[in-house]
Amino acid sequence: MGKMSAKPRAGEIHRTRIFLVDDHAVLRQGLGRLIDDQPDMVTCGQAESIGEALRLLPTAKAEVVTVDLTLRDGDGLDLCRQIQERWKDLLILVISMHDEALYAERSLKAGARGYVMKDAPQETVMAGLRAVAAGQVFVSEAISARLLKGISGPAPDLPPLARLTNRELEVFRLIGEGHSVRAIAEKLLLSTKTVEAHKEHIKLKLNLKTSNQLLQYAIEARVTDHT
């Protein structure tokens, strides 16, 4: 599909059109007001789910999309990949509460051009939007240094959860949120057998022996992720 952005008329100051995807209405609307207060940016739509975003984006004429990683109907990384497959020129900035050490590089590989933590200062979020809109990659200095180190030499020390695949990390996150195997299977459109297989792989990679140990680890990781 072609480019979706709207060009300014002669004499107008161009304002980058930004579409927001986040399942928390208060946070989404707050970010929208902040963007609309900027002289060079304006919101052009909002969505709380992958399905809603894909339905509204074709007519939004967006230039940048902000994507949260935890959405009502799936994973933000999947949405990043679908956006890149459908609209190559549409730029993505992930804004998430999840640890950048685990998700920043994954987001870039999924098609995002930047990653910002939700607890970052407003100035950082605005800088991220402007950088991505200008075609630049925007990540924290720590992540940038890690990515460069990975290119130039041996891979840096990574947290244990970095050993998990994207799907395993998604299952792990849902376990920490208290979802049963059946609920996880329904949410991710997988069989319960597949989810159980993912659980076994996760336990193996994290050196955990029992499902109770996995549950405790996932709950502790979730608490840490929210602090």
pLDDT in tens, 144-203: 877 776 555 555 566 788 889 889 998 998 999 899 999 999 988 899 999 999 999 999
pTM for the complete prediction?
0.74
Inter-residue contact 167 to 190 (CB < 8 Å): no
CATH number of domain containing 86? 3.40.50.2300
Provide the pLDDT confidence category of residue 62 given band limits of 50, 70 and 90: very high
Provide the pLDDT confidence category of residue 227 given band limits of 50, 70 and 90: very low
Are both 93 and 167 inside the same structural domain?
no
Last residue of a domain, one of 150, 169, 197: 150
**Residue 89 sits in which domain range?**
16-150
Provide the pLDDT confidence category of residue 33 given band limits of 50, 70 and 90: very high
Token pair, residue 139, equals 């990540």
Are both 101 and 136 inside the same structural domain?
yes
Is the model's pLDDT at 66 over the cut of 80? yes
Are both 72 and 135 inside the same structural domain?
yes
Q: Which residue has better confidence, 9 or 57?
A: 57
Q: Which residue has better confidence, 152 or 103?
A: 103
Mean pLDDT of 20-35: 95
Are both 165 and 212 inside the same structural domain?
yes
52 burial level (CB within 10 Å; 0-12, 13-18, 19+): middle
Question: Which letter, b or e, does each residue of 195-205 get, where b requires 16 or more Cβ atoms within 10 Å of its Cβ?
Answer: bbebbebbbeb
Is the model's pLDDT at 10 over the cut of 80? no
Mean pLDDT of the chain: 88
pLDDT at 166 (0 to 100): 87
pLDDT at 6 (0 to 100): 53
Are both 24 and 82 inside the same structural domain?
yes
Are both 99 and 63 inside the same structural domain?
yes
Inter-residue contact 168 to 126 (CB < 8 Å): no
Inter-residue contact 146 to 110 (CB < 8 Å): no
Q: Is residue 3 part of a domain?
A: no
Is the model's pLDDT at 2 over the cut of 80? no
pLDDT at 150 (0 to 100): 59
